[in-house]
């Protein structure tokens, strides 16, 4: 059960500037994250879902202060960390961890995996080398790399992709973090092992009361792990609410399109809610509602006025001038007729 608030993100923005120099071609401002607001409670999982380039990873890095935002605020456990210098962030770092998509890339190929798991304790001055080794053996066992003594001295190349991701999880969890951003943690792993890795994350979450931001483009994975889902489009959250409610009864036309396009989401009937074109270039975001050029329900107003993310009913937020009515998806799927 979710507890007190651990993280607040308020109006976060991060723009990247490309080109414009003597070599760089035309100057482009990439609006990777363009006004993101959400709250996360202890023990809760929020899934960030969206197409490639929608700003999910950038959002995750911002809240962990692996990137500094251009504007907005990040409140971690009641403390404003938005512009905290690295020296002041240091004591907070063990409490917030990131798990990346590619376990091979996040491990040193020459370092024995046991040492990689022990390392954060030593780096943060939380244990002696001996204590850290003992703790790492416990963690290896806990993530299913048994017997741990056998795994400790192996290098990443001697492990399967799934085993490497277990190492990465052990390395993050050895610090008993309070907040974890897991960025597509199972997308590079063999399908047969995904459920087990997800269960492992959920077990740690339960034991540590961990708050998790789970980044994925796969709505069925989001449904499995998340309490709430936030749908991102071109750097903004367009809809957010309880996972089941979002998937069964979406209000934003983009959410409906994602749900009906995902072959992995179980629906009573299969019928696709079509939207036009493709996600825009984040350096050329359309005016008004950024989704309007693709939206089947766009009104005149949507071309000029950007909708705010606002509560549509308790616990549910949507940024849309013409949202789908309550109960729309199931009716539309069973009608099979014109939309």
Ligand X SMILES: Nc1ncnc2c1ncn2[C@@H]1O[C@H](COP(=O)(O)OP(=O)(O)OP(=O)(O)O)[C@@H](O)[C@H]1O
Q: Counting contacts by CB under 6 A, is residue 65 touching ligand X?
A: no
Whether the CB-CB separation of 182 and 214 falls below 8 Å is answered with yes
Whether the CB-CB separation of 273 and 267 falls below 8 Å is answered with no
Distances (CA, A) of 274 to 80, 257, 271: 42, 6, 9
Least Å from the CB of residue 276 to ligand X: 20
Q: What are phi and psi of 203, to 5 degrees?
A: -65, -45
Instruction: Tell me which DSSP letter residue 68 carries.
Output: -
Whether the CB-CB separation of 301 and 318 falls below 8 Å is answered with no
Q: Which stretch binds ligand X (CB under 6 A): 56-64, 72-80, 186-194, 317-325?
A: 56-64
Q: Which of 9, 32, 243, 319 binds ligand X (CB under 6 A)?
A: 32
* Coil vs helix vs strand at 208: helix
Q: Counting contacts by CB under 6 A, is residue 57 touching ligand X?
A: yes
Q: How far apart are CA 7 and CA 78, in angstroms?
A: 8
Partner whose binding site includes residue 30, from Mg ion, ligand X, none (CB under 5 to 8 Å by kind)? ligand X
Element (H, E) at 16: strand 5-18
* Coil vs helix vs strand at 8: strand
Q: Counting contacts by CB under 6 A, is residue 282 touching ligand X?
A: yes
**Torsion angle of C-alpha atoms 235, 238, 242, 244, degrees rounded to 10:** -110
Q: Which stretch binds Mg ion (CB under 5 A): 49-57, 115-123, 132-140, 221-229?
A: 49-57
Q: Of how many residues is the chain composed?
A: 339
Which residue, 57 or 260, has its beta carbon nearer to Mg ion? 57
Which residue, 102 or 305, has its beta carbon nearer to Mg ion? 102
Q: Counting contacts by CB under 6 A, is residue 106 touching ligand X?
A: no
Q: Which stretch binds ligand X (CB under 6 A): 1-9, 45-53, 159-167, 289-297?
A: 45-53
Q: Which of 2, 5, 10, 16 binds ligand X (CB under 6 A)?
A: 16
Whether the CB-CB separation of 297 and 253 falls below 8 Å is answered with yes
Q: How far apart are CA 280 and CA 55, in angstroms?
A: 13
Which residue, 31 or 166, has its beta carbon nearer to ligand X? 31
Q: Which of 37, 54, 57, 163 binds Mg ion (CB under 5 A)?
A: 57
Tokens read off for 6: 């651990």
Q: Counting contacts by CB under 6 A, is residue 251 touching ligand X?
A: no
Q: Counting contacts by CB under 5 A, is residue 106 touching Mg ion?
A: no
Q: From the CA atom positions of the chain, what is the Rg in Å?
A: 21
Whether the CB-CB separation of 232 and 59 falls below 8 Å is answered with yes
Least Å from the CB of residue 50 to Mg ion: 9
Least Å from the CB of residue 77 to Mg ion: 25
Partner whose binding site includes residue 94, from Mg ion, ligand X, none (CB under 5 to 8 Å by kind)? none
Which residue, 129 or 284, has its beta carbon nearer to ligand X? 284
Q: Counting contacts by CB under 6 A, is residue 58 touching ligand X?
A: yes
Question: Can you give the binding site for ligand X, defined by CB under 6 A?
Answer: 16, 18, 30, 32, 50, 52-58, 217, 282
Question: Can you give the binding site for Mg ion, defined by CB under 5 A?
Answer: 57
């Amino acid at each position: 059960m979710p507890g007190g608030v651990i993280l607040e993100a308020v109006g976060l923005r991060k723009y990247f500037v490309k080109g414009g120099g003597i070599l760089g071609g035309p100057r482009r401002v990439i609006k990777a994250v363009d006004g993101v607001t959400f709250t996360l409670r202890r023990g809760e999982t929020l899934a960030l879902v969206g197409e490639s380039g929608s700003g999910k990873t950038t959002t995750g890095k911002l809240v962990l202060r692996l990137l500094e935002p251009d504007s907005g605020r990040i409140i971690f456990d009641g403390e404003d960390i938005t512009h905290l210098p690295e020296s002041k962030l240091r004591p907070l770092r063990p409490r917030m961890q990131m798990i990346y998509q590619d376990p091979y890339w996040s491990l040193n190929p020459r370092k024995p995996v046991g040492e990689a798991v022990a390392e954060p304790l030593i780096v943060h001055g939380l244990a002696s080398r001996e204590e850290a080794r003992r703790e790492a053996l416990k963690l290896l066992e806990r993530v299913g790399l048994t017997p741990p003594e056998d795994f400790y001295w192996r290098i990443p190349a001697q492990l399967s992709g799934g085993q490497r991701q277990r190492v990465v999880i052990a390395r993050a969890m050895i610090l008993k973090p309070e907040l974890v951003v897991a960025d597509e943690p199972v997308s590079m792993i063999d399908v047969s092992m995904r459920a087990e890795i997800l269960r492992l994350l959920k077990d740690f979450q339960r034991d540590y009361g961990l708050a998790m931001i789970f980044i994925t483009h796969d709505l069925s994975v989001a449904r499995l792990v998340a309490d709430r889902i936030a749908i991102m489009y071109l750097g903004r959250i367009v809809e957010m609410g309880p996972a089941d409610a979002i998937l069964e009864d979406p209000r934003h036309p983009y959410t409906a399109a994602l749900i009906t396009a995902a072959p992995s989401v179980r629906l009573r009937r299969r019928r696709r809610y079509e939207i036009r074109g493709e996600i825009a270039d984040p350096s050329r975001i359309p005016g008004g509602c950024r989704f309007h050029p693709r939206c089947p329900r766009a009104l005149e107003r949507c071309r000029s006025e950007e909708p705010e993310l606002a509560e549509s009913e308790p616990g549910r937020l949507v940024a849309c001038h013409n949202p789908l009515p309550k109960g729309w998806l199931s009716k539309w799927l069973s009608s099979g007729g014109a939309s």
